[in-house]
Amino acid sequence: MATPRALLPTRIPRLGANRISFTGHWVSDLASEMPDGFSHDPSHDPSPFGVGVERFREAYAMVSAFVESRYGLAVTVEDVPAPFTGDLDGERIVVDHELSGEDALFIMAHLFGHTVQWNTNAAERALGSQVVNNPTPELLEQLAAYERRAASFAMQLFHEAGVHDLDQWLSDYSACDIQYLCEFYRTGVKAPFRSFWKHATPIIQPVAVPAFAPTRWRPRNAGVVI
């Protein structure tokens, strides 16, 4: 068995290999201005849920614009050093530019969920900031609950932004992500992410987003996500 490695609970697996860019201000412009790399080569790491790549582009544009306008959080796409896929600090969400449209949408929404947690719950902020090494079953359950709560905020975000057709996709992706993370925490082994995917998982129930003031809790580079 591989030696378990230390890991921050907010870290997420690096998945896609396609490049994206995020420019413009209006939703219609955002979707059209994203270069072909955002959804290029649908044969690469395709969604097992079967959602078209164009829908992921559109949803990303809608949701990220809503995060900025409604919640005052900056959402940027830039080069995040490998093997990481994104970052958050309480004020800003960063998505790596080498993700597919599908993976970028999940990372952005999921990190929004963690941003809500960090800004509204000191205990969850502490849980999400600790290093995980040889976790107990009790800690693993706490971490899974932490991830499920972030997923509930992500679902609420989708609905507030007008995205109502991706509930099953977000639920399946979130369940896959949690299983992947828990296995990695237990073993230190990075199994293929999609090997944990199951169709028709229970639909995540949205949770209302509490009022919060975006606050930078730590330097961005201290909270990189894989």
Residues 6+ apart with CB under 8 A from 127: 9, 142, 143, 146
Asked if the model's pLDDT at residue 196 lies above 60, the reply is: yes
What is this structure's pTM? 0.79
Residue 42's pLDDT band (cuts 50, 70, 90): very low
What is the rounded CA–CA span in Å between residue 37 and residue 17?
9
Q: How far from each other are the two terminal CA atoms of the chain, in whole angstroms? A: 22
The three-state DSSP-derived secondary structure of 50-110 is: CCCHHHHHHHHHHHHHHHHHHHCCEEEEECCCCCCCEEECCCEEEEECCCCHHHHHHHHHH
Render pLDDT for 71-108 as a digit per residue (tens, 0 to 9): 999 999 999 887 778 999 999 999 999 999 999 999 99
Percent of the chain at pLDDT exceeding 90 = 65
What are the residues facing 88 on neighbouring strands?
93
What is the rounded CA–CA span in Å between residue 119 and residue 121?
6
Q: Is the peptide bond preceding residue 83 cis, with omega within 30 degrees of 0?
A: yes
**Domain boundaries along the sequence of the chain:** 27-225
Phi/psi at 32 (5° precision): -80, -25
Residues 6+ apart with CB under 8 A from 42: 53
